[in-house]
Structure 1
Amino acid sequence: MRPQLAISLLTLGAVLAAPGCATTSPEPSRLAGCETGAVRLTQDFSTAPGYACQREGEAAFELSVLPEDPEINPSPWYAFDLHADEATDAEVALDYADYRHRYQPRIELEDGHWAALPADVVTVSEDGHQAMLALDIPAGVTRIGAQEVIPIEARADWRAAFADRNGMSRAVIGDSREGRPIEALTRQASTSNAPLIIILGGQHPPEVTGVLGLRAFLDTMFGPHADATVLDAYQWLIIPDLNPDGVEHGHWRHNTGGLDLNRDWGPFTQPETAAAFAAIEQQIMNGHAPFLLLDFHSTRRDVLYTPPDGAALTPFAFSEDWISLIESEWTGDDPAFDRGPSHNVGMPTSKTWFADTYAAPGVTVEYGDNTDRDRIIALSQTAARALTRYLDSQTANSRP
């Protein structure tokens, strides 16, 4: 017996605009039976993986949610559209094979915002290998995703708008394996030898809460209430979307070279990480010594992965000092970030490579998959204000 339908998406205002065209479309043979009829399931937009789909009834479908490569971090991403000629009940089964359900499904609302589907809409098998979505959909197009769907074009639009309103320059620093541009944003320091701060994002495609956190952090750090004196004292290099191919194709983890980009810092075998490294080295050649790297991600909790305590880095004890300032700024009922001071030591991640290469701190900023979106914004704003206070203290100590 399939579960009873538990929610009306009409009450969520989930009548969506028609989806845009993707760069590539799933092979028709893989979706046989799903893209025709009065109720249809399609995956022909940016970030949709194009999984094998099987029709189980007039308005019932099964998706085989499988990764792009074996031996991968279990981040089973999915995104699809349901088309209905008229309001109806619909069911979508997610079959993860040997993997387990991770993400609470979300739906795009009529106003473009996203909301989590209530828990009683989703029935997960005891072993976690299957999940059933029981829906009551309106006429039109309803978009469902493991997290908010942020297509390639929307990410480019955000970068352009952010750079324009904050007086930053934009430059293509390289291309992905499939030829998509890797773009960096730069804010020039007021002095030629100012220290360099690097901010990264988008290495792992499904980590959307990391994208939301990065944007809120940057909006606070550089927005209308920012301390220009502090910002001017540093050279800023920001690369928000390092894995555009993986995002476009709905990958769980990898680029189209079959590699986790956050395991390629040092080897730099992939064009995406090689472009980031070249951009950093160019800043160093221009006289800006590496000072700090922040890399934004998602995981199962809000946590900062930092260098080990006592590491011989300059500035010394940055993580401890920054976290202390975050805690002093934080007004939430629960603690802000957890801390992991010995995470992935010795692995070719961005933060470890940065510390080992430049003897400067690198920190991975992680937001929980299911962290409330208002909390993500609050955490990011608090972290940005705390960093501003920290940098202000550093510049004050260096003044004559």
Structure 2
Amino acid sequence: MTPKPLLRLLMLGAALTAAGCATPVAPSGPQSASCESGAVRLTQDFSTAPDYACERTDDAAFKLTVLPEDPDINPSPWYAFDLHTERASEAQVALDYPDYRHRYQPRIEIEDGHWVALPDDAVMVSEDRQNAVLSLEIGPGATRIGAQEVISLADRAMWRTAFADRTGMTRRVIGESRQGRPIEALSRPAASPGAPLIIILGGQHPPEVPGVLGLRAFLDALFGAEANTSVLDGYQWLILPDLNPDGVEHGHWRHNAGGLDLNRDWGPFTQPETAAAFAAIQAQIANGHAPYLLLDFHATRRDVLYTPPDAAELTPFAFSEDWIALIEEEWSGTEPAFDRGPSHNVGMPTSKTWFADTYAAPGVTVEYGDDTDRDRITALSQTAARALARYLDEAQTVSAE
């Protein structure tokens, strides 16, 4: 997409009833017209865009029926689409959720890679949250809208390459997704044999873009120009940033192409993506690196760390309590950095539960809020990375004594 000036967002005003009902403007044109033709068009033909049923309700008004890839799914109603026009035009898009509720505040790309949330007065949501209407003015060309920032598979591959180049990490393909897309790992070897293994995961659930942003900022802070290399050298690092490429490509809410939530397949390993991750971990263990820590990055409705209970008999003992204390020491905000949910998810095959049950080592799910300010996500991630480096430094000092 080409750079464009900041788009002027419209007050809905007369477009909606005084009661605040999220109903599209009454149609004045033919109902059967294609969404992909006309002076104003709506398309869903790019990486990460679902293929929702689209109905044109007026010359510049559309309705998308937002449904998941599979039934009985976590309610993460993702959407992404482009609006096209040759001249400035007012446009309106209704999101209809037959069985779910509007969750994500829409975001708009105002230039390549620069996204902002639509203001509240540009989005009207019905009381039952099963309908939402977006109203805005678009400029000539293509305007991209998404439930979160759109980060395509190509964007993700470019980031991995650039990150590996600037940090000296090794990139390698460890397997393929169900549809044959590569699963790529980044790794950094320890300075000596037998160093403990730290695993960092991301990208299991496609709409959880704040988790992608948080993971990137965390890795940049941990391994970037100001990294404490002597601390990093004491550990073997395995990083899997984009574990569900098929789900990302097709705009899935949750699942891979096999119709499964990958974060419910740790232990069974029935899917090629999780099987590839397990094989990569086992290869590190076979080379003498004992599992020490797993961090899995996600997004939910708030900033929270899902941790094992402090009393769990894991090594290192009470890691989460100690790490969180260091985060709070480093954190400059007036409110706590993260909430905490000490839960083991007994009987649930999530990555963190499987890791703790299998290796008696802590697994932590790092969650960022859907609507958390992006600068706050960066600050949280940088703080968490500094705190982890401090923790690992202190752990090395204790083990050397």
Does TM-score exceed 0.5, indicating one fold?
yes
After superposition, give the CA deviation of every residue in 1:171-202 in whole Å (9 maximum; x if it has no partner): 10000000000000000000110000000000
Kindly indicate whether the alpha-carbon contact (under 8 Å) linking 2:210 and 2:368 is maintained by their aligned counterparts in 1. yes
1:11 Cα deviation from its structure 2 partner: 3.8
Residues 168, 185 of structure 1: 8 Å contact kept: yes
Question: Which residue does the alignment assign to 2:115?
Answer: 114
Match of 1:240 in 2: 241
Find the aligned partners of 1:195 and 1:378 in 2 and give their Cα distance.
Answer: 27
Contact 1:10 1:137 in 2 (8 A): no
- The whole-number CA distance in structure 1 between the counterparts of 2:33 and 2:69 is 20
Alpha-carbon separation, structure 1, partners of 2:273 and 2:131: 34
Deviation sequence 1:55-110 (CA, Å, 0-9, x none): 00100000011000000000000000000111011110000111000000000012
Q: In 2, Cα distance between the equivalents of 1:10 and 1:74?
A: 34
Over 6 Å off, 4+ runs: none
Q: Which residue of 1 aligns with 2:139?
A: 138
Q: Is the 8 A contact 2:5 2:110 kept in 1?
A: no
Partner of 1:82: 83
Paired with 2:52 and 2:203, the residues of 1 have a C-alpha distance of 22
Q: Which moved more, 1:350-359 or 1:103-112?
A: 103-112
Q: Is the 8 A contact 1:13 1:109 kept in 2?
A: no
1:94-173 aligned within 5 A: 94-173=95-174
Identity of matched residues, %? 77
- How many residue pairs end up in the alignment? 376
Distance 1:271 1:356 in 2: 22
Q: Which moved more, 1:338-347 or 1:179-188?
A: 338-347
* Residues 122 and 131 in structure 1, CA contact (< 8 A), matched pair in contact too: yes
Name 1:288's counterpart in structure 2.
289
Paired residues of 1:197 and 1:290 also in contact (CA < 8 A): yes
The question of whether the paired residues in 2 share the 8 Å contact of 1:262 and 1:350 is answered with yes
Confirm whether residue 359 of structure 1 aligns to residue 360 of structure 2. yes
CA distance in 1, matches of 2:115, 2:196: 39
Q: Which moved more, 1:71-80 or 1:327-336?
A: 327-336
The letter for the 1-side match of 2:288 is G
Write out per-residue CA displacement over residues 26-79 of structure 1, whole angstroms, 9 at most, x where no aligned residue: xxxxx9700001100000000000101000010000001100000000000000
Q: How much has 1:345 moved relative to structure 2?
A: 2.7
1:185-244 residue CA offsets vs partner (Å, 9 max, x unmatched): 000000110000000000000000000000000000000000000000000000000000
1:385 corresponds in structure 2 to 386
For the residue of structure 1 that corresponds to 2:111, the secondary structure is coil
Q: Which residue of 1 aligns with 2:311?
A: 310
Relative to 1, partners in 2 of residues 1:11 and 1:155: Cα closer, same or farther, differing over 3 Å? closer
Give distance in 1, aligned partners of 2:299 and 2:71: 21
Give the match's secondary structure for 2:329: helix
Structure 2 distance, partners of 1:352, 1:214, is 20
Q: Distance in 2 between matches of 1:314 and 1:240?
A: 25
Letter of the structure 1 residue corresponding to residue 93 of structure 2: V
Partner of 1:371: 372
Q: Kindly provide the CA deviation profile for residues 233-263 of structure 1, in whole angstroms up to 9, marking residues without a partner as x.
A: 0000000000000000000000010000000
- Distance in 2 between the 1:199 and 1:10 partners? 37
Q: CA deviation at 1:346?
A: 2.4
- Equivalent residue number for residue 40 of structure 1: 41
CA contact (8 A) 2:7 2:139 kept: no
CA distance in 2, matches of 1:343, 1:302: 18
CA contact (8 A) 1:291 1:360 kept: yes
How far did residue 112 of structure 1 move?
2.6
Specify the alignment match of 2:266 in structure 1: 265
**8 Å CA contact retained: 1:94, 1:132:** yes
Q: Secondary structure at the match of 1:310?
A: coil
- Runs (5+) with no aligned partner, structure 1: 1-8, 15-30
2: distance between equivalents of 1:10 and 1:122? 21
Contact 2:8–2:136 at 8 Å: present in 1 too? no
What secondary structure, in the 3-state scheme, does the structure 2 residue paired with 1:109 have? Answer: strand
Map of 2:221 onto structure 1: 220
Q: Whole-Å Cα distance in 1 between the matches of residues 280 and 65 of structure 2?
A: 39
Instruction: Supply the distance in 2 between the matched residues of 1:334 and 1:361 (Cα, whole angstroms).
Output: 26
* Alignment partners' CA distance in 1, 2:311 and 2:182: 39
Matched, 1:50 2:61: no
